[in-house]
Amino acid sequence: AVLPSRHRLAPPPPTAQAPSPPAAEAAPPSLTSKQRTSLRSLAQRKLSAGTLTSVALGAGGASDGFLEDLRLALRDHEVVKLRMGAAVEKKSEAKALAKELAGDMLRHPEGAVHVVQVVGHTALLYLDKTDMKTKKVVV
């Protein structure tokens, strides 16, 4: 049944909408456990052969020069060992620093940087290149 007009619900009054926050960049898809295993295996083989590139972070922290060296190492080798020795005191700090370097500080123009694993004060980083022509490591 249709209600008389005085019993009908009035439309809600227009409200001022708060401006929506800017859209955050989409996070790169994380690595699967199989991909992590494959990358750890590759890093171990490279370490045994003496070809795994290692970059050390000094006690002074991540300077612009350090970040540039890390970007170049990732671009050239795709899998890089990051040694954080004196820069961190605890493993939890090492994990946080590795994630920060991979996320915010290393916006690499060629692809997404992933933390494969952190053991002690050492992290294994992987650059997942988007250009298949220049990609050396396929996981």
| pLDDT one-digit tens code per residue, 92-119 | 889 998 998 888 666 667 788 899 999 9
Mean pLDDT of 13-32: 61
Which residues have a Cβ under 8 Å from the Cβ of 81 and sit 6 or more positions away? Answer: 43, 47, 52, 53, 54, 55, 122, 123, 124, 125
Mean pLDDT of 51-71: 87
Least confident of 16-20, 58-62, 135-139: 16-20
**Would you say residue 75 has pLDDT above 70?**
yes
In the structure encoding, which two tokens stand for residue 40, read together? 């750890």
- pLDDT for the residue 36: 93
Helix H or strand E encompassing 127: strand 122-129
Is the model more confident about 113 or about 18?
113
Least confident of 31-40, 72-81, 128-137: 128-137
